């Protein structure tokens, strides 16, 4: 009897153990299933998160961005009353901004500009909840009494257009060649909107630098900086980077064409690109015809042959708008006799097809290396060695 009770007790204990094990297993499965259920759906938007979305660089950088990009509506420029616009938007997991709403309106045009500036912002650092990146709401207040940087009337696009239309870019700005590169100027904007204290920080060529300064000096008045709703002198120096990029083509290019051949690595964010479309001057018939012409017309002075003088003469000259040759210079001399012979021959060249700048004839400086080389067969009887263009 005791044995049967003992067996029954053991059986009950075994059943309890199995049930307990099964329950623990089910609990673990339920926990795993519960974890899956509590993952945030892709389109969830949270009002409260442990880590708020952030403008790249932080709040101070965001205020600077707003200051520099906000264009105060014309109706409010003279007298900007105190007020504020409050925007609410969603910073997505990707950092993009969506669903912008005006929670508190100040002025319809001011509100519209505030929305435009927020839409133009770079990608944000998204918010986090429970260590997971999520879509999160963000509320932004823009006050009229904060500092607004001075701006060219019409914004950066209008400024760019002004530079394109007014800078007279000359290919003869520098004897060393056609100038290109990145120029940086600085200036202040007074509360009257006038430009003050222009300075070239990084120039390209003296004549081109002077031309750009002239254009900046002639600018119409800017919209002055605003502080506490009133016009004020700018609180910081304005830097204006202009990137002069040459675009060479075998065909004439319409100045309005979007076709470009820039060296992209030279262009930096924030630069104002000044594209200059050029077509190379061309000898009538092209390079092959020029080689043939030189072979027939380039003489090798007898005295130079007798003295065994040979070498590479590099000449520089200008092809004028009518195709004529002018301003011939020797920039790499070999011997006065050979130098004079090279200059004399270049001056005898027929009219070239002139180069063009933005579709219009332009003066372009050409560099031409010519090699005088004696051949074994050359004797001092007037026969010329082969002259070639490299």
Answer yes or no: is pLDDT of 374 > 90: no
Chain mean pLDDT for the chain: 80
pLDDT-above-70 percentage for the chain: 78
Highest mean pLDDT among 119-123, 164-168, 287-291: 119-123
| H or E segment and range at residue 227 | strand 225-227
Give the whole-angstrom CA distance, residue 98 versus residue 255: 37
pLDDT of residue 23: 45
Q: What is the pLDDT of residues 166-186, one digit of tens each?
A: 988 765 544 555 678 889 999
Q: What is the pLDDT of residues 182-236, one digit of tens each?
A: 899 999 999 999 999 999 999 988 888 999 999 999 999 999 998 888 888 887 7
Domains of the chain listed by start with CATH number: 45-143 (3.30.2420), 155-279 (no CATH), 286-389 (3.30.2420.10)
Q: What is the pLDDT of residues 251-268, one digit of tens each?
A: 443 444 434 444 444 557
Answer yes or no: is pLDDT of 291 > 50: yes
Answer yes or no: is pLDDT of 369 > 80: yes
Q: What is the pLDDT of residues 71-96, one digit of tens each?
A: 888 888 888 888 999 999 999 999 99
Answer yes or no: is pLDDT of 295 > 90: no
What's the CA angle centered on 170, arms 166 and 175, to 5 degrees? 150
Who wins on pLDDT, 36 or 60?
60
Give the whole-angstrom CA distance, residue 378 versus residue 390: 22
The DSSP output letter for 377 is T
pLDDT of residue 143: 92
Who wins on pLDDT, 153 or 23?
153
Query: DSSP string covering 248-267, please?
Result: EESS---TT-------GGG-
The DSSP output letter for 359 is T
pLDDT of residue 95: 94
Beta strands in 92-180, from DSSP E residues, in sequence order: 97-104, 127-129, 132-143
């Amino acid at each position: 009897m005791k044995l049967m009770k003992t067996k029954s007790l053991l059986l009950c204990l075994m059943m309890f153990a199995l049930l307990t094990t099964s329950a623990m297993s089910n609990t673990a499965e339920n926990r795993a299933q519960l974890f899956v259920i509590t993952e945030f759906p892709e389109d969830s938007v949270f009002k409260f998160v442990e880590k708020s979305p952030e403008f790249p660089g932080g709040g101070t950088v965001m205020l600077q961005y707003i200051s520099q990009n906000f264009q105060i509506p014309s109706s409010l420029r003279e007298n900007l009353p105190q007020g504020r616009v409050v925007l609410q938007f969603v910073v997505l997991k990707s950092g993009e901004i969506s669903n912008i709403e005006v929670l508190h309106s100040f002025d319809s045009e001011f509100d519209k500009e505030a929305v435009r500036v927020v839409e133009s912002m770079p990608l944000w650092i998204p918010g986090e909840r429970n260590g997971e990146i999520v879509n999160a709401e963000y509320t932004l207040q823009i006050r009229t009494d904060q500092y607004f940087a001075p701006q060219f009337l019409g914004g950066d696009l209008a400024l760019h257009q002004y530079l394109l239309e007014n800078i007279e870019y000359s290919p003869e700005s520098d004897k060393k060649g056609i100038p290109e590169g990145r120029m940086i100027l600085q200036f202040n904007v007074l509360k009257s909107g006038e430009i003050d204290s222009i300075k070239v920080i990084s120039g390209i060529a003296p004549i081109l630098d002077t031309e750009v300064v002239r254009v900046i000096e002639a600018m119409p008045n800017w919209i002055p900086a605003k502080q506490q709703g009133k016009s004020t002198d700018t609180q910081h120096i304005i830097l204006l980077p202009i990137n002069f990029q040459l675009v060479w083509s075998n065909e004439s290019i319409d100045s309005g064409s979007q076709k470009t051949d820039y060296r992209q690595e030279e262009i930096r964010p924030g630069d104002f690109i000044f594209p200059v479309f050029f077509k190379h001057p061309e000898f009538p018939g092209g390079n092959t015809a020029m080689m043939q012409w030189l072979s027939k017309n380039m003489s090798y002075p007898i005295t130079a042959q007798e003295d065994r003088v040979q070498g590479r003469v590099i000449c520089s000259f200008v092809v004028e708008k009518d195709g004529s040759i002018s301003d011939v210079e020797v920039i790499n001399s070999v011997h006065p006799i050979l130098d004079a012979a090279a200059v004399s021959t270049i001056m005898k060249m027929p009219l070239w097809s002139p180069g063009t700048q933005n579709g219009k004839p332009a003066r372009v400086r050409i560099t031409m290396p010519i090699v005088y080389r004696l051949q074994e067969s050359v004797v001092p009887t007037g026969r010329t060695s082969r002259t070639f263009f490299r």
